[in-house]
């Protein structure tokens, strides 16, 4: 029994240990919105027509051919502490071998934080830096029940960058809560990439709000 009691106590203590508390992050009213119905936006082709962004039927249609890395569309102004959200659905292309979502604190070269999902039900948080040829994972790709799977499935994404806190919500569920100090400000936007075949998406209701870390 002397050997069993410490093990039992350790088991009980582990079972009763509280979950780590998430920082309180408050968001304000939207300071920027794109509904792509009333917003004036000219079609944009990138890298010799290897990627495309254009308004279509009140949404932003985006496409990228395979094996060209991530392609992004940025709003132009730099921000510090933000919550950016968008709805997105894949219309064509394989449901694996791709990633798409949001950028925050990005520069014109695409360095910044990537909050991305795949229509296979996976998601990740990545960081692109000038020192690495490809974005590196802050949270590795993994399967999440919050991500709706398949073509035409609509997912609502929210990326929060407040202080050194990075939080990713998919359909109002937190799937990543990280800390990284490398980027403190930059642009927001959408991003997509594919490795298997050309990927086509529709983005809508892009909104940007101020994010503030609240008191515990």
Q: Which of 30-34, 80-84, 107-111 is the least confident region?
A: 30-34
Q: Which of 40-49, 54-63, 105-114, 169-178 is the least confident region?
A: 40-49
Token couple for 73: 């569309």
Pinpoint the alpha helices (H) of the chain: 4-16
- Please report the pLDDT score of residue 42 as a whole number: 58
Token couple for 196: 């298997």
**Spatial distance between the Cα atoms of 169 and 182, rounded to a whole number of angstroms:** 21
- Please report the pLDDT score of residue 157 as a whole number: 98
**Spatial distance between the Cα atoms of 191 and 16, rounded to a whole number of angstroms:** 41
Alpha carbon separation from 89 to 63, 109, 146 (Å, rounded)? 12, 25, 14
- Vertex 125 angle, CA 137 and 187, to 5°: 115
Q: Using one digit for the tens of pLDDT, what is the confidence trace for 112-164?
A: 999 999 999 999 999 999 999 889 999 999 999 999 999 999 999 999 999 99
Q: Domains along the chain? A: 24-213 (2.60.120.560)
Pinpoint the alpha helices (H) of 103-167: none
**Spatial distance between the Cα atoms of 69 and 97, rounded to a whole number of angstroms:** 11
For tokens 């798409």, the residue is 100
Cross-strand bridge partners of residue 128: 112
- Please report the pLDDT score of residue 199 as a whole number: 94
Q: Mean of the pLDDT values across residues 34-62?
A: 76
């Amino acid at each position: 029994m002397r050997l069993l009691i410490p093990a039992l106590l350790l088991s009980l203590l582990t079972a009763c240990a509280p979950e780590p508390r998430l920082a309180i992050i408050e968001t304000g009213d939207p300071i920027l919105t794109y509904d792509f119905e009333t917003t004036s936006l000219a079609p944009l082709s990138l890298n010799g027509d290897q990627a495309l962004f254009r308004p279509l039927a009140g949404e932003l249609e985006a496409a990228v051919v395979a094996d060209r890395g991530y392609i992004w569309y940025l709003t132009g102004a730099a921000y510090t502490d933000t919550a950016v959200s968008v709805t997105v659905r894949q219309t064509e292309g394989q449901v694996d071998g791709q990633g798409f979502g949001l950028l925050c604190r990005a520069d014109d070269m695409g360095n910044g934080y990537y909050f991305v999902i795949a229509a296979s039900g996976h998601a990740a948080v990545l960081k692109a830096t000038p020192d690495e040829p490809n974005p590196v994972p802050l949270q590795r790709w993994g399967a999440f029940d919050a991500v709706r799977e398949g073509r035409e499935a609509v997912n609502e994404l929210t990326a929060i960058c407040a202080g050194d806190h990075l939080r990713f919500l998919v359909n109002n569920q937190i799937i990543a809560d990280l800390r990284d100090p490398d980027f403190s400000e930059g642009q927001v936007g959408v991003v997509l990439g594919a490795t298997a075949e050309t990927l086509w998406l529709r983005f809508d209701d892009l909104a940007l709000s101020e994010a503030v870390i609240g008191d515990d």
